[in-house]
Amino acid sequence: MTARCRPDQGTAKLALRFHFATTDLPMTSPDSSGTKKRIFSGMQPSGEAHLGNYLGALRRWVGMQDDYDCIWCIVDQHAITAGGDPSETPGNVLDLAISFLAVGLDPEKAIIFVQSDVPEHTELAWLFNAVTPVGDLERMTQFKDKSQRFDSIPAGILNYPILQAADILLYKADAVPVGEDQKQHLEMTRDVARKFNAAYGETFPETEPLIAKDVGRIMGLDGEAKMSKSLDNTIPVLAEPEDVWAKVRTAVTDPQRVRRDDPGRPEVCNVFTLHNFFSDDATRADIDAQCRAGTIGCVDCKRRLSDNIADAFGPFRERAAELHAHPERVREVLDDGAARASAIARETMAEVRDRMGLDWRSAIG
Ligand code: TRP
């Protein structure tokens, strides 16, 4: 099913530069039977990807594509769990698709598609309602947080993890690369699989979460919360160099450093954490020493970070510009991805319907 890999110099160079860590994966691949393990992951479309998406997920996904049978999904139905703006959703999906392709997700190596193009996701989610206790859904941390924002809580907020379980199990994924914040949703997915298998016979695997160990906590530029577009504490991956600088310039550094010659503590500085991803060893050692000695100011340190981020994102901007000029290429990729995802989804659903007795014709014989 996976097409031949195309040698991609650009990606290989970036891979080196960003020290892609795939060593944290517990599974060897391909497995002893010679088939690759299947990986599924999803991202909500809220427009162009940002630095947090890139460091926390996309960078890692790109590095997995040669070793695993990968499926990358733009989860537009999750994005409208509580409604959403119909005039913005299509553009947000297109922009995220362009970001996916620009950073190096590769349709020749992986399936890239949009959730709502494969209606089996919602069909399976409905059937999973039968094996999911409401109490478990109400105990989810994310539900408790999100539900507080509503006077009348949309059922979608409660049922969100069921759709996520359906996303993953529809493809019988062996593993899912996710951030720490998704651990509970993966646990729920495993519960759903276990309960379904117990009630209707062995059908689904117990999917493993692949939580990156090397990334650590990457804070937003405000130094207060996780990077998110809505908090405006991040940088779009396709930002022009001057826009990267406008953002990096505002980043919060070691609060104990007030004057330029105050000695700094790189280990508590979020800007220094970002240097870990974008600057080479010599630069980091130099900045570390000068920051502690109070001989480099935060502005100079940020300038170097900003230049390195803008350089690293350069190839992404080029690829994105090309795709913006030829959106029909994006459509082709997503249409093809949906067709390939559908083929797998239909197979799983035939099995699930059979197991659940949704085949009235069998009563006639
Ligand atoms: N809940 C995930 C998030 O907010 C997005 C998501 C939806 C997902 N379905 C998924 C992630 C399936 C992994 C696998 O980040």
What confidence tens digit (pLDDT) does each residue in 163-202 have?
999 999 999 999 999 988 899 999 999 999 999 999 999 9
Residue 17 has pLDDT above 90, yes or no: no
pLDDT digit string (tens) for 207-254? 999 998 766 667 999 999 989 998 999 999 999 999 999 999 999 999
pTM of the model: 0.90
Could you tell me if 305 and 278 are in contact, meaning their C-beta atoms sit under 8 angstroms apart?
Answer: yes
Residue to substitute in 140, 159, 182 for testing ligand 1 pocket (most ligand atoms within 8 angstroms of CB): 182
Q: How far is the CA of 52 from the centre of ligand 1 (A)?
A: 15
Q: Where are the alpha helices (DSSP H) in the chain?
A: 9-17, 51-53, 59-64, 76-79, 89-103, 120-128, 134-138, 141-147, 155-170, 183-200, 241-248, 270-278, 281-293, 298-325, 327-355
Look at ligand 1, atom 14, and give the residue with the nearest C-alpha.
41
* pLDDT band at residue 2 under the 50/70/90 scheme: very low
- Calculate helix-pair angle for 327-355, 120-128, nearest 10 degrees: 40
Ligand 1 atom closest to the Cα of residue 181 is 15
pLDDT value at residue 294: 95
Bridge-based pairing of strands 69-74 and 208-211 is: unpaired
Distance CA 333, CA 171 (A): 19
Could you tell me if 274 and 233 are in contact, meaning their C-beta atoms sit under 8 angstroms apart?
Answer: no
44 CB less than 6 Å from ligand 1?
yes
167 CB less than 6 Å from ligand 1?
yes
Q: How far is the CA of 242 from the centre of ligand 1 (A)?
A: 32
Q: Where are the alpha helices (DSSP H) in 28-88?
A: 51-53, 59-64, 76-79
Ligand 1 atom closest to the Cα of residue 40 is 14
pLDDT value at residue 239: 96
Residue to substitute in 75, 128, 187 for testing ligand 1 pocket (most ligand atoms within 8 angstroms of CB): 75
Q: Which among 212, 172, 168, 213 is positioned nearest to 187, based on CA atoms? A: 168
Look at ligand 1, atom 3, and give the residue with the nearest C-alpha.
43
Q: How far is the CA of 42 from the centre of ligand 1 (A)?
A: 5
If you average pLDDT over residues 271-285, what whole number do you get?
95
Cis before 26? omega within 30:
no
pLDDT value at residue 364: 95
**Tokens read off for 227:** 């990077």
Residue 49 has pLDDT above 60, yes or no: yes
If you average pLDDT over residues 57-74, what whole number do you get?
97
Of 34 and 88, more confident: 88
- Non-local CB neighbours of 56 within 8 Å, separated by 6+ positions: 179, 212, 215, 218, 227
If you average pLDDT over residues 124-145, what whole number do you get?
98
Of 225 and 1, more confident: 225
pLDDT value at residue 357: 97
* pLDDT band at residue 11 under the 50/70/90 scheme: very low
Distance CA 26, CA 67 (A): 13
Look at ligand 1, atom 10, and give the residue with the nearest C-alpha.
42
Residue 26 has pLDDT above 60, yes or no: no
125 CB less than 6 Å from ligand 1?
no
Look at ligand 1, atom 6, and give the residue with the nearest C-alpha.
42
**Domain 38-218+327-363, CATH:** 3.40.50.620
Distance CA 304, CA 291 (A): 13
* pLDDT band at residue 32 under the 50/70/90 scheme: low
Share of the chain above pLDDT 70, in %: 90
Of 203 and 259, more confident: 203
Domain boundaries, the chain: 38-218+327-363, 241-312
Distance CA 115, CA 121 (A): 7
Could you tell me if 171 and 344 are in contact, meaning their C-beta atoms sit under 8 angstroms apart?
Answer: yes
pLDDT value at residue 137: 98
* pLDDT band at residue 29 under the 50/70/90 scheme: low
Q: How many C-beta neighbours within 10 Å does residue 288 have?
A: 17
- Non-local CB neighbours of 155 within 8 Å, separated by 6+ positions: none
Catalytic center residues: 146, 226, 229
| 8-state DSSP, 35 | P
Residue 8 has pLDDT above 90, yes or no: no
Residue to substitute in 96, 185, 188, 228 for testing ligand 1 pocket (most ligand atoms within 8 angstroms of CB): 185
pLDDT value at residue 213: 75
If you average pLDDT over residues 119-130, what whole number do you get?
98
Q: How far is the CA of 245 from the centre of ligand 1 (A)?
A: 30
Residue 46 has pLDDT above 70, yes or no: yes
Residue 349 has pLDDT above 60, yes or no: yes
If you average pLDDT over residues 332-346, what whole number do you get?
98
Residue to substitute in 40, 46, 61, 78 for testing ligand 1 pocket (most ligand atoms within 8 angstroms of CB): 78
pLDDT value at residue 20: 36
304 CB less than 6 Å from ligand 1?
no
* pLDDT band at residue 1 under the 50/70/90 scheme: very low
Could you tell me if 188 and 144 are in contact, meaning their C-beta atoms sit under 8 angstroms apart?
Answer: no
* pLDDT band at residue 80 under the 50/70/90 scheme: very high
Q: How far is the CA of 271 from the centre of ligand 1 (A)?
A: 28
* pLDDT band at residue 21 under the 50/70/90 scheme: very low
Q: Which CATH class is domain 241-312?
A: mainly alpha
* pLDDT band at residue 22 under the 50/70/90 scheme: very low
pLDDT value at residue 365: 82
Q: How far is the CA of 313 from the centre of ligand 1 (A)?
A: 25
Residue 97 has pLDDT above 80, yes or no: yes
Could you tell me if 109 and 39 are in contact, meaning their C-beta atoms sit under 8 angstroms apart?
Answer: no
275 CB less than 6 Å from ligand 1?
no
Q: How far is the CA of 100 from the centre of ligand 1 (A)?
A: 15
Q: Which among 333, 358, 337, 343 is positioned nearest to 120, based on CA atoms? A: 343
